[in-house]
Amino acid sequence: MNTQEPAGLFTAVYEGDENTVVRLLRAGTAADARDEDGQTALYLAAVSNEPGIVRLLLAAGADPDRLSADADSPLCGAACGGHAEVVRALLAAGATADLEEEFGFRALTWAVQRGQVEILTELLAAGAHPDRPGPTGEAPLVAAARRGSPGCVRALLAHGAGARSPALDEARRWPALDVEAELRAGLEQMYGSGHEMVTHRIPEDGGITVEVQLRTGERTMAGNDQQTGHAAIITLLEAALGIATPVPELADRALRCGDPANDDWTEAVSVLVRRAGGETFTAATAWSRSPDPLRRALGTEILRKLGR
């Protein structure tokens, strides 16, 4: 029986105070408590990235699938925020991996849109369907291709995702586009022109994520970001579809990124090494003698992996 008002529980969750949460739950505050807006304590803990509090609430009987304000899923909130440990805690407590929240969003939809590879992998392992479309009817693999996340594409392909040809078409659109300009245009469409915009390029997930923030003075008003691993995704999807990409084209994808640690490079090398034919060996030998240091590095790496 709930013998305590829930306000103290919500304050403790906001403050990340696990000891107070324990004390309130022991005193009778309901783990499924809602505030005056209908928000559940579990949802607040999930979106606040408080895995310890999430586990306490779940252990005290909070329903992992109960929608906050009859609209928002704790699992979706955690996936959208990139809170992998919270996602694992919710799934371990029996959260439905494919549960839909308001407007037809699922945790997998959010994970793909945000390029959250670790979370997507957890959701797929817990039974999320790799082909179930999002609220717009778009297949997850197509959304992952647009996002530019090779990691998400790999995870979906590993679980048998379909829509491979449409995803390849989507990925092929992006190398010719200016990602920063696309992000800026999207923010201007939503918030109008005339705002200061600041761009960051963040190395992560085997590539570069471009982030554009819309600023008002010292305050960030809005922002958006996108990964740029589209060349790697093209290579992945061509291989998945059995398309034999010409050797020079694969080399150009690697050399355009200019970074042997980048997925655009490593995926091209992987395909070339798997072929292990005479054309690959002849090309790699020639590249290894090139005066261009990047082309020489590419040829040398392929020959080393071929054992030559």
Last residue of a domain, one of 128, 161, 196: 128
Is 209 found in the same domain as 109? no
Is 201 found in the same domain as 144? no
Residue 193 is predicted with a pLDDT of 87
Task: Count structural domains, the chain.
Answer: 4
Cβ atoms 56, 86 nearer than 8 A? no
Average pLDDT over residues 137-159: 98
Is 103 found in the same domain as 70? yes
Over the stretch 100-114, which tens digit does the pLDDT of each residue have? 999 999 999 999 999
Average pLDDT over residues 124-147: 97
Residue 101 is predicted with a pLDDT of 94
Q: Is residue 205 assigned to a domain?
A: yes
Percent of the chain with pLDDT over 90: 92
Is 166 found in the same domain as 253? no
Over the stretch 33-48, which tens digit does the pLDDT of each residue have? 999 999 999 999 999 9
Average pLDDT over residues 83-102: 97
The pTM of this model reads: 0.92
Residue 196 is predicted with a pLDDT of 93
Is 124 found in the same domain as 18? yes
Is 150 found in the same domain as 95? no
Alpha-helix runs per DSSP H in the chain: 7-15, 18-26, 41-47, 51-59, 74-81, 84-92, 107-114, 117-125, 140-147, 150-158, 164-173, 179-191, 230-240, 247-257, 263-275, 278-288, 293-306
Q: Is residue 1 assigned to a domain?
A: no
Q: Is residue 202 assigned to a domain?
A: yes
Give the CATH number, domain containing residue 68.
Answer: 1.25.40.20
Q: Is residue 47 assigned to a domain?
A: yes
- Residue 72 phi, psi (nearest 5): -115, 130
Q: Give residue for tokens 């979706």.
A: 76
Has residue 136 got a pLDDT over 90? yes
Q: Is residue 91 assigned to a domain?
A: yes
Is 124 found in the same domain as 19? yes
Has residue 131 got a pLDDT over 70? yes
Between CA 188 and CA 194 the distance in angstroms is 8
Is 165 found in the same domain as 55? no
Which residue segment(s) compose the domain that 167 sits in? Answer: 136-173+228-242
pLDDT range class, residue 8, cuts 50, 70, 90: very high
Mean pLDDT of the chain: 95
Q: Is residue 258 assigned to a domain?
A: yes
Has residue 3 got a pLDDT over 80? no
Between CA 299 and CA 79 the distance in angstroms is 40
Residue 2 is predicted with a pLDDT of 47
Residue 216 is predicted with a pLDDT of 85
Has residue 284 got a pLDDT over 50? yes
Q: Is residue 2 assigned to a domain?
A: no
Is 238 found in the same domain as 253? no
Q: Is residue 259 assigned to a domain?
A: yes
- Which 8-state DSSP code applies to residue 144? H
Q: How far is CA 243 from CA 70, 85, 165, 280, in A?
A: 46, 38, 11, 16
Cβ atoms 210, 201 nearer than 8 A? yes
Has residue 288 got a pLDDT over 70? yes
Is 211 found in the same domain as 164? no
Residue 1 is predicted with a pLDDT of 41
Neighbours of 125 (CB within 10 A): 12
Residue 6 is predicted with a pLDDT of 87
Is 254 found in the same domain as 285? yes
Is 84 found in the same domain as 33? yes
The phi-psi region of residue 29 (left if phi > 0; otherwise alpha if psi is between -120 and 50; otherwise beta) is: beta
Residue 307 is predicted with a pLDDT of 87
Q: Give residue for tokens 């291709």.
A: 145
Between CA 225 and CA 213 the distance in angstroms is 9
Over the stretch 166-190, which tens digit does the pLDDT of each residue have? 999 999 999 999 999 999 999 999 9
pLDDT range class, residue 4, cuts 50, 70, 90: low
